[in-house]
Every structure is written in structure tokens, then in C-alpha cells.
């Protein structure tokens, strides 16, 4: 099978971790007779430096014309002084809107080899951490009107807006995802305060009538933040709006031991998705070959599974990651006593080799 992958290497450690994901994808292609072609696209700080724009239309077009998109990371202190509407992160919002990817799926799963790295008590970890946060991605307060004005003093406001149709389409993703797992869906909102959350809750409960096989529960976002660290085993699938999902998914990643291990997928109505690790560009270690590429490598596995319908190949990558971790190899962020510390490039090579041997 032949696929064209748009590659956004981005800023900071982005180029390093993307290179290792490509190394693993090439191992998969060689093993199964696929052809993966890569088209480089600029986004973020590097695009600002090159074009004066965090995501020019011609670079977005490369992504729209690809079969899927692999993203490293964008941003860094170098671009802190640029106007707000031109910050590197604006490229992220623009590509999500341009691709129409409204559902961001972030698994929170602890690898047994890294159980000791979790900040949670062992008795909590032993119960298991394996859930997915389904986050609405192109609506809500991030995409509402933003303005700052004078009214005797400076005043700023940001508008959170959701329509029934936006809630329904992400709700269906939540129910369908739960249906493929343990059939439990927790809808997270703030309906005791926000009108948007009251609408959210109403739509989700209406949808639940179509999914009688899925157990639906409701939880306020502040309680959910506490429950994720108190009893993560209770969760299977969490569905929530954009800002809440942004915060909760970052929290969930940390209880698994390292933010460097977590992949994510962003999908819309078609198969062209955006795949990226959930961590940032880590400019403090950029160029040192010290980054953890596993989140990006697992994002590539999600691409194979969800966009390319290659479940066997995705399984191979995930099995290879487990094999390398069981072999005692660790990057600095997941280093444990008695393990062997390796560089970013070494970790990528080890996983690629393991793919070939499985």
C-alpha cells in the first residue's frame, strides 16, 4: 500500500522525535511491503521565521492533500514576543480548523514496565490506568471571539460557544469509542455554572438513548480532575469540551509516568488525521538527542490504525515499544535504577529493529 504522509517537524525537539518515528515507519514499510512517502510542511516558529506566518496556506494545502499528517511539536520562547494572532500555537488552531479534525483522542495508559514512574500510590496504580479522553477540538472558548478593550481600564473577554450539532458529533465519537472498549462513557462538563455545559449535558443524554449498551455517567470537571488522581481505574472513556479536555488530558498523561510516552490522534469526518505526541517542543533539550521519541512513535502507530486501516502494523509498533522497555532501555525522562539510559536516536533505532524482529 502506498501512502503520502505530510510531516511537520516543527520546533525544538520536534525534528528529532519525528525523525525517529519515520525510522520506525520505514521499518514497518519494509516488513509489509508498503510505501510511505513524506512531504515536509512548515508550521509553528520555523514557519514564522521562514514565511512570517505560523501556517501559510500553501503549507496547509500540503497537509490537506496528504493521506495523513505527522506532527512533532511547535513553539518556544524565541517567539514569545510575536503578536498573539501570529504565535506558533496559532498554527495548531489553524491546522485543526483547516483539516476539520474535531475529535482529539488521547489515551492515558500506564506501561507495566513504567509502573514505578507514576506519581500515584502503588495501590492506585495496581488497579490499572487505561482510559481515553475524547476532546472536542475546534469549538468552545479557544475558537470563540477574543477581545481586549478599554472601559475605564483594560478589559478582556473570551467567548465560549457550542451548538447542538458540534456537541452531537463529538458525543457520537465518545459513545462509539466506548462501544469498542469497556462500554463506559463519562461526560465531563460544568453544568452547575455554564449554559454551554447545560446544553452539552442535554445533548449527551439525548444521544445516550441511541447507545443503550453504553453506561453513561456525568461528572463536573473539577471533580473529574480530582478523580483522575484518586481513582483513575474508574474511567474508560471521557468525553468533554475543548478547554476542559486540554487540561484533563495533560493531567492524565502525568499519572502514567511521563508525558513523553503519550500519543494522540485528531480526526474528523474523513481518514486524513493529525497525529502528534501531547508534549511540547522542550527547547531546553533541543539538539541534545535527549528527547523521548516514544510518544511520537506511538502516534505513528495510531496513524496506521485509524487512518490507514493497518491494525497489524500498529500492533507491531506497540509490541516493539513494550519489548524495548522490557529490555531495560530508557530515555532520560523515564530513567529508572538498574536500567540502561539511551539517546533519542538510539531509542528509535531499537524500536525499529524490534519491529523487524517481531
What's the number of domains the chain is made of?
2
Q: In this structure, are 88 and 185 located in the same domain?
A: no
Assess whether pLDDT exceeds 90 at residue 269: no
| pLDDT reported for residue 258 | 80
**Collapsed DSSP state (helix, strand, coil) of residue 179:** helix
Which residue, among 353, 296, 345, has the nearest Cα to 323 in the 3D structure?
353
Our answer to whether residue 250 is catalytic in this structure is yes
- Spatial distance between the Cα atoms of 353 and 358, rounded to a whole number of angstroms: 9
Assess whether pLDDT exceeds 90 at residue 355: yes
Which residue, among 132, 69, 71, has the nearest Cα to 106 in the 3D structure?
132
Q: In this structure, are 231 and 165 located in the same domain?
A: yes
Q: In this structure, are 287 and 246 located in the same domain?
A: no
pLDDT tens digits along 20-29: 999 999 999 9
Our answer to whether residue 190 is catalytic in this structure is yes
Q: In this structure, are 91 and 204 located in the same domain?
A: no
Last residue of a domain, one of 235, 255, 275: 255
- pLDDT tier at 323 (50, 70, 90 boundaries)? very high
Last residue of a domain, one of 216, 233, 255: 255
Assess whether pLDDT exceeds 90 at residue 83: no
All cell numbers assigned to 329? 532501555
Catalytic residue among 40, 61, 158, 222: 222
- Spatial distance between the Cα atoms of 345 and 290, rounded to a whole number of angstroms: 8
Sign of the Cα pseudo-torsion (7, 26, 101, 147, in order): negative
Q: In this structure, are 133 and 224 located in the same domain?
A: yes
- Spatial distance between the Cα atoms of 335 and 50, rounded to a whole number of angstroms: 37
Q: In this structure, are 129 and 250 located in the same domain?
A: yes
- pLDDT tier at 81 (50, 70, 90 boundaries)? confident
Catalytic residue among 11, 42, 236, 246: 246
Q: In this structure, are 93 and 131 located in the same domain?
A: no
Q: In this structure, are 44 and 130 located in the same domain?
A: no
Q: In this structure, are 45 and 20 located in the same domain?
A: yes
What domain range is 233 assigned to?
A: 125-255
- pLDDT tier at 90 (50, 70, 90 boundaries)? very high
| pLDDT reported for residue 84 | 78
H-state helical runs in the chain: 14-32, 45-51, 57-64, 88-99, 122-125, 164-179, 195-208, 221-230, 242-255, 294-306, 311-326, 344-357
Mean pLDDT of all residues belonging to the chain: 95
Catalytic residue among 11, 42, 142, 275: 142
Catalytic residue among 183, 190, 341, 343: 190
- pLDDT tier at 191 (50, 70, 90 boundaries)? very high
Answer yes or no: pTM beyond 0.85: yes
**Collapsed DSSP state (helix, strand, coil) of residue 279:** coil
Our answer to whether residue 42 is catalytic in this structure is no
- pLDDT tier at 253 (50, 70, 90 boundaries)? confident
- Spatial distance between the Cα atoms of 331 and 336, rounded to a whole number of angstroms: 9
DSSP designation for 127: T
Q: In this structure, are 47 and 165 located in the same domain?
A: no
Our answer to whether residue 246 is catalytic in this structure is yes
Last residue of a domain, one of 234, 255, 276: 255
Provide DSSP, 25-94. Answer: HHHHHHHHT-EEEEEE---SHHHHHHHSSSS-HHHHHHHHTSSEEEEEE---GGGTTS-GGGSHHHHHHH
Q: In this structure, are 51 and 200 located in the same domain?
A: no
The residue-averaged pLDDT of 304-308 equals: 93
| pLDDT reported for residue 259 | 85
Q: In this structure, are 98 and 183 located in the same domain?
A: no
Catalytic residue among 250, 315, 341, 343: 250
- Spatial distance between the Cα atoms of 84 and 164, rounded to a whole number of angstroms: 30
| pLDDT reported for residue 86 | 86
CATH of the domain at 156: 3.40.718.10
Amino acid at each position: 500500500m502506498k501512502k503520502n504522509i505530510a510531516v511537520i517537524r516543527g520546533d525544538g525537539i520536534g525534528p528529532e522525535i519525528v525523525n525517529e518515528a519515520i525510522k520506525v515507519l520505514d521499518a514497518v514499510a519494509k516488513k509489509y511491503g508498503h510505501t510511505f512517502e513524506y512531504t515536509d510542511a512548515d508550521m509553528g516558529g520555523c514557519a514564522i521565521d521562514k514565511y512570517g506566518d505560523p501556517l501559510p496556506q500553501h503549507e496547509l494545502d500540503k497537509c490537506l492533500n496528504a493521506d495523513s499528517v505527522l506532527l512533532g511539536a511547535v513553539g518556544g520562547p524565541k517567539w514569545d514576543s510575536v503578536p498573539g494572532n501570529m504565535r506558533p500555537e496559532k498554527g495548531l488552531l489553524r491546522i485543526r480548523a483547516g483539516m476539520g479534525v474535531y475529535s482529539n483522542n488521547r489515551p492515558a495508559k500506564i506501561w507495566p514496565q513504567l509502573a514505578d514512574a507514576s506519581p500515584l500510590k502503588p495501590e492506585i496504580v495496581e488497579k490499572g490506568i487505561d482510559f481515553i479522553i475524547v476532546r472536542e477540538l475546534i469549538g468552545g472558548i479557544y475558537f470563540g471571539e477574543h477581545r481586549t478593550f478599554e472601559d475605564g481600564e483594560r478589559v478582556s473577554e473570551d467567548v465560549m460557544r457550542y451548538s447542538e450539532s458540534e456537541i452531537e458529533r463529538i458525543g457520537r465519537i465518545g459513545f462509539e469509542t466506548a462501544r469498542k472498549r469497556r462500554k463506559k462513557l463519562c461526560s465531563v462538563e460544568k453544568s452547575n455554572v455554564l449554559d454551554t455545559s447545560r446544553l452539552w449535558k442535554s445533548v449527551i443524554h439525548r444521544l445516550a438513548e441511541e447507545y443503550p449498551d453504553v453506561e453513561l455517567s456525568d461528572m463536573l470537571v473539577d471533580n473529574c480532575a480530582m478523580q483522575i488522581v484518586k481513582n483513575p481505574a474508574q474511567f474508560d472513556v471521557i468525553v468533554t469540551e475543548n478547554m476542559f479536555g486540554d487540561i484533563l488530558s495533560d493531567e492524565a498523561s502525568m499519572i502514567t509516568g511521563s508525558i513523553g510516552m503519550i500519543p494522540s490522534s485528531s480526526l474528523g469526518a474523513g481518514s486524513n488525521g493529525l497525529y502528534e505526541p501531547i508534549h511540547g517542543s522542550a527547547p531546553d533539550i533541543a539538539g541534545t538527542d535527549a528527547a523521548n521519541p516514544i510518544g511520537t512513535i506511538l502516534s505513528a502507530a495510531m496513524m496506521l490504525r485509524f487512518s490507514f486501516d493497518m491494525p497489524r502494523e500498529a500492533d507491531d509498533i506497540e509490541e516493539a515499544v513494550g519489548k524495548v522497555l522490557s529490555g531495560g532501555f530508557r530515555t532520560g525522562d523515564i530513567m529508572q535504577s538498574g536500567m540502561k539510559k539511551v539517546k533519542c536516536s538510539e531509542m528509535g533505532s531499537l524500536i525499529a529493529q524490534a519491529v523487524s524482529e517481531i
